Structure 1
Amino acid sequence: MSNLHHPTMLPLPGGRRLGADETERHLSLLLEGAPLIRLRLERGPELHVHLQEVHDRPVGPALWAACYWLFARDCACQRLTWHLAERPDEALLSGLLTSAERPGEYVCERTMFWQLPQPWLGESFSGSYPQQMIITDGKRHPRRPVKPRGEVYRRFDARLGAWVSLRTLEIEQDLTRFNRWQNSPRVASFWQEEGSLEQHREYLSTLQNDPRVLTLIGCFDDQPFAYFEAYWAKEDRIAPFYDAENYDRGIHMLVGEEQHRGPHKVASWLSALVHYLFLDDPRTQRVVAEPRADNARMIGHLHNQCFHCAKEFDFPHKRAALMILGRERFFDRCGLM
C-alpha cells in the first residue's frame, strides 16, 4: 500500500506512472522514468512552487502532473501558488490555474483541480449534452444523453494503494454475480430484490432500457465488488419529495463482496461514485440518496462523505432518509487523493 503522505509512485489512467525525487525544497517528477518537470518548493502557510525546468511541451500536462502529485501527497493541502516566467495559457483556459494578483503568480486550488474531468473519465467524457426540455409521464425534464458503455471512471486511490473504477453493467457478463449479491441475506434485508436469474435479467433489462437510470459495477483493481444505480432525480419517484433540479443525480448502492466492506473501502468507492456524477455533467449541483431511515450504518457512511439529512419521508415501500450532497460542499471539502 502506498504511503499516505509520501507516495513514491502514482499510476495514471491509461497505464503510465508518475515517480518523483523529492526533498523538502525540491521536486523532480518523472513520467515512465523520463524527466518531466523540476520544481523548487517554498513551504509555509501556503506552498509556493517555482518552475525550474520542464521537459514536456506543451507545458500544461506537466503542470497538471505536478499539481496532482502535490495534492495526492498531502490531503490537507488546499492551494498551490505557482511562480512562472511565461503565461500558462493552456492551464488558464482549462481552469487548472487562475491568475493571482502579482505578475507571474498563478494559483491552483484543490477545489478546482478535482473538478477537471480528465484523466478520470477517459474516453467516456463528452462534455455537457445540449439542453432540450421534454415531458415524460407528465414530468418536464431535460432530454438525457445516450448512456455510455464500458468504463466511465478510473482513479488510483493513494490511501488504499488500489485502483477504484466504475464501468457500466453488462447483463450477460454480470447477471450471475448480480443474482448472487441480491440473494445474500445482508443485501436482501435492505434491497428486497431476491429472485431467480430470469427475474433479475428482467429487472436489469428494464433498467437498461430506461434513459433515467445508469447501472454501474464498482471495481477495486478491476475486480467487481459492488452494484450502483445512478438516476436522474427529476424523473424519479423521489422528485415529489423535494425540490429536484434538472441535473440532480440520485444513487442506489450495494456492496456484494464481503472482503470489500468496511469504512475505509466505503470512503473510497462512495467518493469515487459521487466524483464521477459531478464530473459527468458540470450542471449537476446535487447528488441525493434515499436509504431506509433505519439503515444507520449507510446513513453514517453518507454523513462521513459530507451528505446531510434533509428530512425523513415515506415511500410506499419504506420510510426513507433524504440525504443530499451539494457540488460546492463536495469539492470544498474534497479529500480525494
Structure 2
Amino acid sequence: MTAYTLTLNNGRTARAELHDDRALLWLGNEILTELALEPGGGEQIRLSGALPLEPQPQALLPLLAELFCRRPQLLRVVLVLACSRDFATAAVRHGVATEVSADGQAWLLRCERATFWQQPALWLTTPSSAGMALDYVVSGGKRHPRRAPTPQGVVYRRYLPALDSTITLRVAELDRDLNAFHDWMNQERVHRFWELAGDKASHATYLQAQLDDPKVVPLIGEFDGEAFAYFETYWAKEDRIAPFYDVADFDRGCHVLVGNSRHRGPAKVTVWMRALSHYLFLDDPRTQRIVGEPRVDNSRFIAYLQSQGFGKLKEFDFPHKRSAMVVLEREAFAGQYGPWGEE
C-alpha cells in the first residue's frame, strides 16, 4: 500500500506509482493503466495513455495525490486519456477534473490543484457533515441549520511526505484524553489565554460539556499517533461570536492549544493550522469561512493566523475579553494557503 491508497465505493482499492517517465495506476492487485509522463514539470504536468477498463472516476485521485502532494509548485495536471466521453464527463461531475475537452481520439482532462485539495475522499475517514439536509431549528434563541451528530474516532488523516509523518485529527474521548487535557490546561502559557486551570474533575466536566454540545466538535491532533493539541471546533451561527459579524449558516470556528512541547513552534504550526483548516472546509462544502476570536494580546498567535491566510477584520469586546476578529475564506485557502505549502 502507498500513502495515498483509496478504497472506492465498490470496495476495490486504487493506488498509483510514479517513475521518471511513466505512472502506473493500480486497481486492486492489477495494473489498470500505464500513462506516459511527459518531460518537463514546474507548474504543469501532462500524462497520456489509454484507459481500456473504466473504473469509478475517483480511482484517479491517488495518481493526482502522488503528484500534487509531493510537488508543492504544481498547479495543474493534464490527463490525455483514450477513454469514453461518459467517463471523461463523469470525472468532472465528481470533481476529479475541472474541465474536459476533446483531443483527437482522446479526451483531455484538466485537474487543478485548488479543486484537488477540496476532494474529501483521500482525507476524511468518517462521513462528513454535508449529508445533512437543510433543516432549520432554534436553540438558545438562535435559528440555525440542524447539525450532524458528533462523529467518533479519527475524522481526518493525511501523510506529510516532506516530514515522513502522518497527521490525524480525532474526536476527543473523556477516558482517553482527560489526563493530557488536564495537564495542558494547567500549563501557565495555556491558562493565560484559556483561563481554565483547575482540577481533573473540573476538566472532565468541561470536556464532557463540549462533547455533549451539538455545535462543538472537540478534536485531538496527533503526529504519528502522539497527541499534541486540542482543537475546539464549532459552528459559528450558534456561538457567542455570531452577533459580532454577518455570520453565515455554515461558518466554522475554532479555539486551539498546543500542549505537547515536542510539537510547538513555527516548524509545526503551519502543518497543523493547514490540516485543521483543510478538515473544516472538507467537512461541509457549504462552509465558506473559518472564523476566530483570539484575545488581542495574543499577538504571536494572531501573527501566525495572518501568515496562514486569516485576515484580521476588527477588534471587539466580549464581556470577559477584548478579541480580534479573524477570518479565512475558502477561496483564499484553496488558492493560496492549502496543504501544499505547509512544509
Asked whether the two chains share a fold, i.e. TM above 0.5, the reply is yes
Correspondence for 1:205: 208
1:142 Cα offset (Å) = 0.9
Question: What is the aligned residue count?
Answer: 327
Match for 2:325: what amino acid? L
Residue range with higher mean Cα deviation, 186-195 or 58-67:
58-67
Q: Which runs of 5+ in 1 are unaligned?
A: 1-8
Residue in 2 aligned with 1:154?
A: 157
1:121-140 map, 5 Å: 121-125=124-128, 127-140=130-143
**Residues 1:38 and 2:34 aligned together:** yes
> Which is worse superposed, 63-72 or 252-261?
63-72
Answer yes or no: is the 8 Å Cα contact 1:133–1:143 preserved in 2. yes
State the SS of the aligned residue for 2:130. coil
C-alpha distance in 2 between matches for 1:140 and 1:19: 46
- Separation (CA, whole Å) in 1 of partners of 2:222 and 2:338: 20
Amino acid at match of 2:35: L
> Which residue in 2 is equivalent to 1:3?
none
Shift of 1:61: 4.3
Partner of 2:3: 10
Residue of structure 1 equivalent to 2:171: 168
Partner of 2:148: 145
Deviates more, 1:138-147 or 1:92-101: 92-101
Q: Is the 8 A contact 1:35 1:55 kept in 2?
A: no
Deviation at 1:144? 1.2
Flag the structure with more relative contact order, 1 or 2, with Cα contacts below 8 A and sequence separation at least 6: 1
Within a 5 Å distance, the mapping from 1:1-337 to structure 2 comes to 10-12=3-5, 20-23=17-20, 25-28=21-24, 35=31, 37-42=33-38, 43=40, 47-52=44-49, 58=55, 60-86=57-83, 87=85, 88-89=87-88, 90-103=90-103, 104-125=107-128, 127-337=130-340
Cα RMSD, aligned residues only: 2.4
- Contact 2:315/2:324 (CA < 8 Å) preserved in 1? yes
- Which stretches in structure 2 are left out of the alignment for 5+ residues? 8-12
Partners of 1:28 and 1:217 in 2: CA distance: 36
- Rounded to whole Å, the distance in 1 between the matches of 2:206 and 2:149 is 20
Q: Cα gap change, 1:175/1:70 in structure 2, threshold over 3 Å: closer, same or farther?
A: same
1:264 Cα deviation from its structure 2 partner: 2.6
What is the distance in 1 between the residues matched to 2:251 and 2:75?
A: 27
In structure 1, what is the Cα distance between the partners aligned to 2:28 and 2:265? 34
Q: CA deviation at 1:28?
A: 3.7
Q: Aligned partners of 2:75, 2:330: CA distance in 1, in Å?
A: 17
Partner Cα distance (2:67, 2:297) in 1:
40
Q: State the AA in 1 paired with 2:193.
A: F
Deviates more, 1:25-34 or 1:248-257: 25-34
Structure-2 residue corresponding to 1:6: none
In the alignment, the residues of structure 2 paired with residue 17 and residue 224 of structure 1 have an alpha-carbon distance, to the nearest angstrom, of 30
Contact 1:19–1:32 (CA under 8 A) maintained in structure 2: no
Structure 2 residue matching 1:81: 3-state secondary structure: strand
Superposed displacement of residue 11, structure 1: 5.0
**Residue type matched to 1:95 in 2?**
G
**Matches of 2:277 and 2:41, distance apart in 1:** 32
Residue 261 of structure 1 deviates from its aligned partner by 0.6
CA drift of 1:244 comes to 0.7
Given that 1:124 and 1:151 are in contact with CA atoms closer than 8 Å, whether structure 2 keeps it comes out as: no
Corresponding letter in the other structure for 1:195: G
TM score, norm. by length of structure 2: 0.87
Q: Residue 78 of structure 1: CA displacement? A: 1.2
